[in-house]
Amino acid sequence: MTACMVAWSCVACSGPQDFMRAANPAARDIASFGWWLLVVFCVAAAIVWLVLAYIALRYDDGSFAAHAPADADEPKRWIVIGGLGIPAVVFLTFFALMFGPMRGSTAHQAGGAAVDIRVIGRQWWFEAEYLGHQVDEAVHVPSELHIPVGRPVDIELETRDVIHSFWIPKLHGKVDLVPGRVNHVRLLADTPGVYRGECAEFCGAQHAHMRIDIVAELPVYFDAWLESQRADAAQPDVDEKVLHGRDVFMASACALCHTVRGTQARGSIGPDLTHVGSRRRIAGGSFENTTANLSAWITDAQSMKPGARMPSLRQLSGPDERALVSYLQSLR
């Protein structure tokens, strides 16, 4: 058990989702609390096992059956001190210490300031909505959240279906997205980088494939990115394959479910595809945005992510599918 916990901790401690190596002060408080929990857990487990080993070795001659009854004074003292007293002290100490990181947590600080971004959870993808001065200025970005480094960003969290949980392990503690309720979190990244986030509340068959990448970049790059995202979709001009792809998109079910700003596609069931060509990942963050994945996602989404609302559009296989992929990739 201890070995499993340590192995798990080591696995968790590498890469963009490593909550033990946090990227801001509030997350660092949570991480150091986590380290203390792990250390105390390992020490407690080691003591329990040593006691068990001692008993097993001492009584391996079969005399164990003749041990003192549990209601004798000596065993009772063991149970009261070791089974109740020490665990109570340990649990109450950690309970009290937990209030420090909780007070400093970014979820606690947020809520009073103006909202910069609304994050919406759906089965099974996150959508970041950058709020403009007017409603029609809002920029919708699926499965990706860009923030400026060194600037606190206040985020409003909502869900359109079941309970989800927004968790960027390197940046903050978990905050749930609860139907009928608006929660808040404040994100602050110290250094540029890509931080991976996951849905942390079981929300159905594809819960494990509900991911969001946080791209923290210097303010000048962030401002340029947001400006580019506010623009309408690029219009194809000469490339015949791209033009054909656009026609396929507008004439098929794609346009009923997805929005491509600047065209007649205004669907709101699936993610906004206005700048899909510039996205890192597709399908709720499940797959990298490559030609092969995009192609497979169009014609065989139900094999890749069974239960997702994206249908498998097998009728588009062949030249239509390749043209469609070219059109989507041109939307940068």
Among 29, 107, 121, 276, binds ligand CUA (CB under 6 A): 121
Q: Least CB distance from residue 176 to ligand CUA, whole Å?
A: 10
Q: Least CB distance from residue 280 to ligand CUA, whole Å?
A: 19
CB 164 within 8 A of CB 198: no
Please tell me whether residue 199 binds ligand CUA under the rule CB under 6 A: yes
Site for ligand CUA in 123-142 (CB under 6 A): 124
In angstroms, what CA-CA distances link 171 with 25, 130, 168, 183?
Answer: 9, 19, 5, 17
Among 202, 219, 227, 290, binds ligand CUA (CB under 6 A): 202
CB 267 within 8 A of CB 310: no
Of the two residues 119 and 187, which places its CB atom closer to ligand CUA in the complex?
119
Q: Least CB distance from residue 211 to ligand CUA, whole Å?
A: 10
Question: DSSP assignment of 174-233, as one string?
Answer: -EEE-TT--EEEEE--SS-EEEEEEE-S--STTGGG-EEEEEEE-HHHHHHHHHHHHSPP
Q: What are phi and psi of 175, to 5 degrees?
A: -130, 125
Of the two residues 8 and 202, which places its CB atom closer to ligand CUA in the complex?
202
Distance CA 190, CA 319 (A): 46
What token pair was written down for 278?
């510039």
Question: DSSP assignment of 33-83, as one string?
Answer: HHHHHHHHHHHHHHHHHHHHHHHHHHTTTTGGGGPPPTTSHHHHHHIIIII
Among the candidate windows 78-86, 91-99, 199-207, 212-220, which touches ligand CUA by CB under 6 A?
Answer: 199-207
What single-letter amino acid sits at 57? L
Please tell me whether residue 174 binds ligand CUA under the rule CB under 6 A: no
Of the two residues 199 and 242, which places its CB atom closer to ligand CUA in the complex?
199
Among the candidate windows 28-36, 66-74, 195-203, 318-326, which touches ligand CUA by CB under 6 A?
Answer: 195-203
Q: Least CB distance from residue 205 to ligand CUA, whole Å?
A: 10
Please tell me whether residue 270 binds ligand CUA under the rule CB under 6 A: no
Among 20, 31, 188, 203, binds ligand CUA (CB under 6 A): 203
Binding residues for ligand CUA (CB under 6 A):
121, 124, 164, 199, 201-203, 207, 210
